[in-house]
């Protein structure tokens, strides 16, 4: 049997390669950080990780992981409700709830799992989910698992959201779900306006703040804080795999009864192993650091401003905003898909690691390099990257 299936898989792989969609993985020989080295040798400055606050190799966070590792052991070999809940898990849940401004929080192995488990237990076929068209793949999959009717609105378009809410008016319960920050553009969802519409149309609101928790908003609580609507968002999904340390894990924070029901019914929570205690302990430490000091968030924002202003001054087109995701656009230039790839390759030669994205990852004519700034970048490293962008930009005729 395998022979025939092998031919099928080979053909599928060929199609992926022919369409230019084959993803090659560069193997790192170093911890994740600002300076990394890949198999091919040279050290490069990393501008493509979600390591927004530099916690992925912060000595305080690693020490906390180490302490939790020896205090609580390597793993639980159990789901939460059998014998997989330790004090460190409960402590993390209560700290997350406090940080996010929610009643309670429930842990998952990843934000992907959180989205896979949050909709199905809450919304049945009499309900409706109204979802932004650019929402993360895990939201799309999670919504598919629910029996609720699905309505999709144009990205960040509040008029279309309202239209969809009107279409969904017969539903017993409605839930609006959005990414807090859209990862290809770095744009921030209008969570305040979404909450207003939710009030007007009697809907619940769920925000996936994976690209915001820890650094967006005056004290880093996320997009709800940035938009001035803490307490109005019913459910917040977020990851520990980005700014909060980058290991893995995620949660849903929200109203007490909803979290309680998720503990009873959410399948990835009930039927998947407990978060490793070292990660739980390290994430508690991350939240403690963030609660005590604004230093890293301020450094991240200062780095982001420096980079954004430098790029605009040099004549690059970037998606405006404040987020450390900085998309550098090439769509107005000839052969933009190739240019974005050539540009990224040339930057790597110069010691700056960024990724070029083109169709179909982003729409036709929207090819880009996505730069991600970290608080761990030194000012000189931001200047170095700007210098290399200018050099390559001139060489390739992009500025």
Ligand X SMILES: *Cc1c(COP(=O)(O)O)cnc(C)c1O
Q: Which residues bind ligand X (CB under 6 A)?
A: 110-112, 136, 138, 179, 183, 208, 210-211, 239, 241, 250
Min. distance of Cβ 126 from ligand X in angstroms?
27
Please, which residue, 241 or 393, has the CB nearer to ligand X? 241
The C-alpha angle 40, 43, 49, rounded to 5 degrees, equals 95
Min. distance of Cβ 397 from ligand X in angstroms?
33
Q: Catalytic annotation on 136?
A: no
Give DSSP secondary structure letters for 76-107.
-SS-HHHH---HHHHHHHHHHHHHHT-SEEEE
Please, which residue, 242 or 390, has the CB nearer to ligand X? 242
Residue with tokens 């309505």: 151
Min. distance of Cβ 183 from ligand X in angstroms?
5
Q: How many other C-beta atoms can be found within 10 angstroms of the C-beta atom of residue 116?
A: 24
SS3 128: strand
The total number of residues written for the chain in this structure: 399
Min. distance of Cβ 107 from ligand X in angstroms?
11
The C-alpha angle 199, 150, 160, rounded to 5 degrees, equals 55
**Is 85 within 8 Å of 269 (Cβ atoms)?**
no
Please, which residue, 111 or 258, has the CB nearer to ligand X? 111
Q: At what angle do helices 277-292 and 295-314 cross, to 10 degrees?
A: 80
- Write out the H or E segment, with its range, that includes residue 218: none
Sequence-ordered strand ranges (E) for the chain: 35-37, 43-46, 104-108, 128-132, 149-153, 174-179, 181-182, 187-188, 203-208, 235-239, 250-254, 317-318, 325-329, 352-353, 355-357, 368-372
Min. distance of Cβ 5 from ligand X in angstroms?
29
Q: How many other C-beta atoms can be found within 10 angstroms of the C-beta atom of residue 178?
A: 28
Please, which residue, 109 or 381, has the CB nearer to ligand X? 109
Q: Catalytic annotation on 242?
A: yes
Distance between CA atoms of 260 and 249, rounded to whole angstroms?
A: 19
Q: Give the active site residue among 211, 224, 366, 388.
A: 211
Please, which residue, 46 or 138, has the CB nearer to ligand X? 138
The C-alpha angle 254, 139, 145, rounded to 5 degrees, equals 95
Q: Give the active site residue among 89, 136, 174, 242.
A: 242
Distance between CA atoms of 131 and 109, rounded to whole angstroms?
A: 23
Min. distance of Cβ 99 from ligand X in angstroms?
17
| Cα→Cα distances 302→183, 186, 367, 374, Å | 20, 16, 26, 10
Min. distance of Cβ 110 from ligand X in angstroms?
3
- Write out the H or E segment, with its range, that includes residue 257: helix 256-265
Tell me whether the omega of the peptide bond preceding residue 360 falls within 30 degrees of 0, making it cis: yes
Q: Catalytic annotation on 78?
A: no
Min. distance of Cβ 319 from ligand X in angstroms?
16
The encoded tokens of residue 317 equal 């087109």
Please, which residue, 54 or 393, has the CB nearer to ligand X? 54
Positions annotated as catalytic residues are: 183, 211, 242
């Amino acid at each position: 049997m395998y022979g025939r299936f092998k031919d099928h898989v080979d053909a599928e792989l060929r199609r992926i390669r022919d369409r230019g969609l084959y993803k090659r993985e560069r193997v790192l020989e170093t911890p994740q950080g600002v300076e990394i080295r890949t198999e091919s040798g040279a050290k490069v400055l990393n501008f493509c990780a979600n390591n927004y606050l530099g916690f992925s190799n912060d000595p305080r966070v690693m020490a906390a992981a180490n302490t939790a590792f020896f205090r609580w052991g390597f793993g639980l070999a159990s789901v939460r409700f059998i014998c997989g809940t330790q004090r460190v898990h409960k402590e993390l849940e209560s700290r997350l709830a406090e940080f996010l401004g929610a009643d309670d929080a429930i842990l998952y192995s990843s934000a992907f799992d959180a989205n896979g488990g949050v909709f199905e237990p809450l919304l049945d076929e009499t309900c409706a989910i109204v979802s932004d068209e650019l929402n993360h793949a895990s939201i799309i999959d999670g919504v598919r698992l629910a029996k609720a009717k699905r309505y999709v609105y144009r990205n960040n378009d509040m008029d279309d959201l309202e239209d969809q809410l009107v279409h969904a008016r017969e539903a017993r319960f409605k839930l609006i779900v959005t990414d807090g920050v859209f990862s290809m553009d770095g744009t921030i969802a209008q969570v305040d306006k979404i909450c207003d519409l939710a009030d007007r149309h009697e809907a619940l609101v769920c925000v996936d703040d994976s690209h915001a928790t820890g650094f967006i908003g005056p004290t880093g609580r996320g997009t709800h804080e940035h938009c001035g609507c803490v307490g109005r968002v019913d459910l917040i999904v977020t990851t520990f795999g980005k700014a909060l340390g980058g290991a893995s894990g995620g949660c849903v924070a929200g109203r007490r009864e909803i979290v309680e029901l998720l503990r009873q019914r959410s399948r990835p929570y009930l039927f998947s192993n407990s978060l490793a205690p070292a990660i739980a302990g390290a994430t508690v430490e991350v939240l403690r650091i963030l609660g005590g000091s604004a230093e890293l968030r301020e450094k991240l924002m200062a780095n982001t401003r420096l980079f954004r202003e430098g790029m605009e001054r040099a004549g690059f087109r970037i998606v405006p905003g404040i987020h450390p995701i900085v998309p550098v656009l090439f769509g107005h230039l000839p052969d933009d898909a190739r240019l974005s790839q050539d540009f990224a390759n040339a930057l790597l030669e110069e010691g700056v690691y960024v990724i070029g994205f083109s169709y179909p990852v982003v729409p036709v004519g929207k090819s880009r390099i996505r730069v991600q700034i970290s608080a761990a970048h030194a000012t000189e490293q931001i200047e170095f990257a700007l210098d290399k962008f200018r050099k390559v930009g001139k060489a390739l005729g992009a500025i």
